[in-house]
Amino acid sequence: DSGVTQTPKHLITATGQRVTLRCSPRSGDLSVYWYQQSLDQGLQFLIQYYNGEERAKGNILERFSAQQFPDLHSELNLSSLELGDSALYFCASSNGYEQYFGPGTRLTVT
């Protein structure tokens, strides 16, 4: 158990809808990272937050957004969902150089 929690574990929704994925970092970790893992793209870095502020952006679509709240939990919002957004979404947290991953949210868009 990494200490990082993600909810929900599974999510099934229709195209065009919007969903919110939630992540709670390990106690004391200020950084939160979001990743998307799909069969064709592998593990892709989406975005990083540090203590509430956006720090780095990766391959994140404009339809996706994230934020980190004062209690350090983070949410990833995915809107206007397309079939191709079906993937595993991981959150990781860190207080240094090592990242600790949550169990992921499996999103299925039908």
Partner 1 sequence: AQSVTQPDIHITVSEGASLELRCNYSYGATPYLFWYVQSPGQGLQLLLKYFSGDTLVQGIKGFEAEFKRSQSSFNLRKPSVHWSDAAEYFCAFLTGGYQKVTFGIGTKLQVIP
Q: Both tokens of residue 81?
A: 């969902």
> Maximum distance among all alpha carbons in the chain?
38
Binding window for partner 1 (CB under 8 A); candidates: 11-19, 20-28, 69-77, 87-95: 87-95
Query: Given the complex with partner 1, which of 64 and 90 has the nearer CB atom?
Result: 90
Torsion over CA of 67, 69, 72 and 73, rounded to 10 degrees? -70
Query: Given the complex with partner 1, which of 61 and 88 has the nearer CB atom?
Result: 88
Strand 10-13 to strand 105-109: parallel, antiparallel, or no bridges (unpaired)? parallel
- Summarize as ranges the residues that interact with partner 1 (CB under 8 A): 2, 4, 31, 33, 42-43, 45, 48, 50, 55-56, 58, 90, 92, 94, 97-104
